[in-house]
């Protein structure tokens, strides 16, 4: 029989042992009794999900994880005992391979805490409604995120791995274009942190985020990397050694003018359900740079970027794909890999080193 944990509430089964009927076990960590009760009922009502325990603090969560395994941790960012950001690393280690969904009022629109939580390892975030008004839209959003994060590693690893394309190194690397979504922020940090500073090609990033988050996202990247980082603005000239992030309300594209390349933002440029979308970015990079560019597809759900990657690959450019084991969601990178468009499939830091080895003469 599992030992009791102070501050934890588990659903009793026969002989007091929590039942294992749910496909996905969820640990709720929140100091608010009202929130815990409501979220507990929501999770238990979702097919395939069950609450393993509901605890009042990060300390209680760590104690529970010493003797139990869970699949997903719903973590409040701000708690009086020890806040979720401070406990993030310990919870990731104690609960491995559980994924963390940061569920907090501090994950609201534009909140810097959201970017920090994602950068520290949270797989996704979701804002709690004001005044504990948990409407249908919140329930639907929570269910959608739980479904994405519930996919077991064994199922992801069982997906077919395709033979990669050969890399034909052209004269000079003129642009790197990165696409990502769920789980992409820590992957971006890992990649840029490992990228040789001598690789000075301009870097374009399309990460699925609302527009209010983008300034915080850009500042956070700049704090971790030596390169200047900008939220892309329409008409700005592309500069070597700089990083440009797609704004949340427009697709990031490029065009040539007078021999140089400038940024073009178009809010209705793509039929993709995402805004910003990775496809328009990769398509414009293919037109402007052809084989002298490199595409990178990092963790994310769905298949945004597949159409653009196909066009870029047709120009002879390499497409670097994050591997299944290190991806939070192997949707976007997996779609490119299964289409036979990937040049290599590696962890983000290894992708950075591979780029340097391919494009620097003395790397």
In this predicted structure, the answer to whether residue 311 has a pLDDT above a threshold of 80 is yes
294, 317 contact by CB (below 8 A): yes
Report the candidate in 194, 193, 146, 169 with the shortest Cα–Cα distance to residue 24: 146
30-44, 115-129, 191-205, 240-254: least confidently modelled range: 115-129
Q: Which residue has the higher pLDDT, 152 or 183?
A: 183
- Report pLDDT digits (tens) over 108-121: 554 677 888 888 88
pLDDT of residue 3: 36
Where in the sequence numbering do the catalytic residues fall?
181, 208, 304
| Euclidean distance between CA atoms 65 and 360, whole angstroms | 46
pLDDT of residue 19: 41
In this predicted structure, the answer to whether residue 310 has a pLDDT above a threshold of 50 is yes
What are the chain's domains? 8-150 (3.40.50.2300), 175-359 (3.40.50.180)
pLDDT of residue 117: 87
- Report pLDDT digits (tens) over 335-359: 999 999 999 999 999 999 999 988 8
**Average pLDDT of the chain?**
85
| Euclidean distance between CA atoms 127 and 113, whole angstroms | 11
pLDDT of residue 11: 43
> Residue 210: which residues within 8 A CB-CB, separation 6 or more?
109, 110, 248
Q: What is the pTM of this model?
A: 0.80
In this predicted structure, the answer to whether residue 199 has a pLDDT above a threshold of 50 is yes
For the CA atoms of 140, 144, 150, 151, the dihedral, rounded to the nearest 10 degrees, stands at: 150
pLDDT of residue 157: 45
Q: Average the pLDDT over 89-108 and give the result.
A: 85
């Amino acid at each position: 029989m599992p030992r009791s944990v102070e501050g934890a509430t588990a659903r009793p089964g026969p002989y007091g042992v929590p039942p294992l009927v749910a496909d996905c076990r969820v640990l709720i960590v929140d100091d608010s009794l009202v929130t815990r009760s409501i979220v507990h009922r929501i999770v238990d009502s979702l097919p395939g999900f069950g609450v393993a325990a509901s605890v009042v603090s990060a300390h209680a969560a760590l104690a529970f994880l010493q003797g139990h395994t869970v699949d997903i941790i719903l973590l409040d960012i701000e708690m009086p005992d020890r806040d979720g950001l401070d406990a993030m690393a310990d919870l990731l280690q104690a609960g491995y391979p559980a994924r963390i969904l940061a569920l907090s009022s501090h994950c609201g629109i534009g909140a810097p805490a959201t970017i920090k939580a994602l950068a520290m390892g949270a797989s996704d975030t979701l804002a709690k409604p004001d005044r504990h008004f948990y409407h249908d839209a919140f329930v639907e959003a929570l269910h959608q995120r739980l479904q994405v994060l519930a996919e077991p590693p064994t199922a992801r690893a069982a997906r077919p791995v395709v033979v990669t394309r050969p890399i034909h190194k052209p004269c000079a690397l003129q642009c790197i274009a990165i696409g990502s979504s769920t789980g992409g922020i820590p992957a971006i940090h890992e990649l840029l942190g490992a990228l040789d500073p001598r690789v000075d090609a301009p870097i374009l990033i399309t990460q699925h985020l609302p527009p209010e988050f983008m300034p915080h996202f850009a500042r956070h990247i700049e704090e971790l990397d030596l390169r200047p980082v900008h939220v892309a603005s329409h008409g700005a000239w592309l500069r070597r050694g700089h990083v440009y992030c797609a704004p949340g309300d427009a697709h990031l594209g490029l065009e040539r003018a007078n021999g140089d390349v400038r940024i073009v933002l178009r809010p209705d440029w793509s039929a993709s359900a995402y805004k910003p979308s990775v496809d328009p970015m990769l398509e414009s990079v293919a037109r402007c740079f052809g084989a002298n560019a490199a595409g990178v597809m990092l963790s994310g759900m769905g298949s945004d970027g597949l159409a653009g990657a196909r066009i870029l690959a047709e120009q002879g450019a390499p497409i670097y794909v994050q591997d299944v084991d290190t991806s939070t969601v192997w949707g976007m990178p997996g779609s490119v890999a299964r289409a036979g468009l990937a040049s290599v499939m590696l962890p983000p830091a290894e992708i950075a080193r591979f780029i340097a080895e391919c494009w620097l003469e003395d790397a």
